[in-house]
Amino acid sequence: MISLASATAADSNSVLVDRRREAISSEPETAVATAVERVARPVVSFDQAREIAEQYGTPTLVISRSVLAETYRSMKAALPNVEMFYAAKANSDVAILRTLCLEGSSVDVCSYREMQSAMLAGFKPEQMIHTHPCKTVQNLLDCYNEGLRWFTYDCVGELEKIAAHTPDVNLILRLAASSSSSLINLSAKFGCDPLDAPKLAAEALSRGMSVRCLSFHVGSQCLDPSDFSRMLKKARTAWDGCVAAGAQLEVLDIGGGFPAPYRASVMTIHEYCSALAAALEEHFGDLPIRIIAEPGRGMVAECMTLITKVLGRSVRGGLPWYFIDDGVYGSFSGKLFDHADFELVTENAEYRTRSRCVVAGPTCDSHDVVSIDQELPELEVGELLLVPTMGAYSNASASGFNGLDIARIIEVE
C-alpha cells in the first residue's frame, strides 16, 4: 500500500467533478442521469492513471481515501442515530479499514483473519462484532481470546457450540429476511424464521446465556429502502416476542445491503438513508436502544477504481474483441460471485465513435469475459481503461489463477 503524495485532496475533488461528467455522458441512452443521481465514477483522471500505471504497472486498484471518508460522513449524516459497523468482508484491505477507523466507524468481522486486519488498522476488539452464524470452533476461540465478545447464532446447534466454548458472550440472534429488490439474497443460507426468534432466545436463556441483539440482512445491493421497512416490521414483532421470553435486548442490527452504482445508477445516500431513518423511527422509535448497521458494499464500492490495460485485440464473429490485463479471476471476480455489472470507462469516449464489442480478461478460460454489451471506442493496444465501483467484492474474491498476479492496490488522497 503506497500513498501518492502528488495527488492532493483538492486534485482528487476536481477529478471527481470531471469524472462525474464523463461518467454521465457515457451512460447508455436509456439511463438518463440527473445531477442528484449516484452514478459510477472513477476516483482518478486518465492523466493520473497514466502516471500511476507508469510507476506501478497495471492492473492497479486505486483507493481514494477522501472518497471513502466522504461516503462514511454522508451515511452518518443521514443516519445520525445509527452506529456503523463496516462489514470487513467487502474489502479487508488495511488502508480501507484504517480510514474507516479514523472516521469513527466500528467493524463487523466473520473470521480471525479479518479481526487481525482490523486490529492492524487500529480497531479495538470492543469495536467489533462477529457476524458469522456458523463458525468453526477455532474461529470462535481465536476471536474470543483476542477480546471479541459479540457473536451471532441463528439455530440451536450454533448456540450449543458457543455455550460449550465461550458461554459468557453477548449473543446476536440473526433473523432471515426476504427482500424483493436485492440483487443478492443473504438469507438463503443464514437467519432463523423471525417467528422462531422467541423460542431461540429462550433456548439461550435456559443455558444461562444472554441475547443482547437481533440482526438481519435484507440482501446485498438492496435497491429499494422499503425492503428495510417491511423487515423492520417483522423484526419488531420478533423483538417484542424475545423480550416477552425474557431476553434483555439492547441492540438492533439492521445489517448491510446499502447499494452502490454500477452501470445502473442508484438512489443517493441521503435519499436512501433518510427513508431508512424514517422506517427506523416508525418501527423502533419508541425504544431506548442502540441501532447499528453493517454496510459493506455501500460504504466502500465507490472508493476504489481499477486501472487496466488493453493487451491485445482481434475480430471474432464480426465483433471487435479486446483483451485486458485483469478479468473475472481477478478484480472482476465480482462479476461472477456478486452479479456486478462494471462500467468500463475509456478516455474521451464522448469524442470517439463507439460500437458494441467484447472485452475479455487475461486468462486462458473462455468464461473470462468482463463485458459483452458495452459500446466502446476502437481501443488501441496499450490504452488504459478505468473501472469505477471496484471497492467491494472485487479484490476480496480475486485469485491468482493462470499464475497471473492479482492487481496491486495503492492509495491516493
Ligand X SMILES: *Cc1c(COP(=O)(O)O)cnc(C)c1O
Catalytic residues: 364
Residues contacting residue 114 through CB under 8 Å, at least 6 positions apart: 88, 89, 92
CB of 253 to ligand X, least distance (A): 8
Looking only at the bridges linking them, the beta strands covering 251-253 and 210-216 are parallel
Which DSSP state fits 146? T
Contact 50, 281 (CB under 8 A): no
- Note whether 346 and 389 are within 8 A (CB): no
Identify how many contiguous H helices and E strands the chain contains and give both numbers.
12, 18
C-alpha cell at 208: 444461562
CA 87 – CA 109 distance, rounded (Å): 6
Residue nearest to ligand X (CB): 256
Residue 98 Cβ vs ligand X, minimum distance, rounded to whole Å: 19
Q: Which is nearer to ligand X, 220 or 331 (CB)?
A: 220
Q: Nearest approach, Cβ of 401 to ligand X (angstroms)?
A: 23
Note the residues at the interface with ligand X (CB under 6 A): 87, 89-90, 108, 131, 186, 217, 220, 255-258, 294-298, 392
* Residue 287 backbone dihedrals phi, psi, to 5 degrees: -105, 135
The dihedral through the CA atoms of 90, 25, 361, 60 has a sign that is negative
CB 136 within 8 A of CB 144: no
Pair 103, 299: CB distance under 8 Å: no
CB of 379 to ligand X, least distance (A): 32
- 4 or 252, CB closer to ligand X? 252
Instruction: Classify residue 59 by burial, with Cβ atoms within 10 Å: 0-12, 13-18, 19+.
Output: buried
194 vs 298 by CB, closer to ligand X: 298
Q: Which is nearer to ligand X, 46 or 190 (CB)?
A: 190
Q: Which is nearer to ligand X, 150 or 258 (CB)?
A: 258
**What's the min distance (Å) between Cβ of 298 and ligand X?**
6
Residue number with CB closer to ligand X (220 or 363): 220
Which helix (DSSP H) or strand (DSSP E) does residue 150 occupy? strand 150-153
Decide whether 293 or 410 has the Cβ nearer to ligand X. Answer: 293
Closest separation in Å from C-beta 330 to ligand X:
20
Q: How far is the CB of 295 from ligand X (least distance, A)?
A: 5
In the numeric block, which cell numbers belong to residue 185?
A: 439474497
Choose between 4 and 235: whose C-beta lies nearer to ligand X.
Answer: 235
Taking the C-alpha atoms of residue 94 and residue 76, their distance in angstroms, rounded to an integer, is 21
Residue with cell 481499477: 306
Min dist. Cβ of residue 256 to ligand X (A)? 2
User: Contact at 8 Å (CB) between 107 and 131?
Assistant: no
Residues 6+ apart with CB under 8 A from 387: 42, 305, 306, 308, 331, 332, 342, 343, 344, 345
How far, in Å, CA of 75 to CA of 292, rounded? 12
CA distance 281 to 181: 22
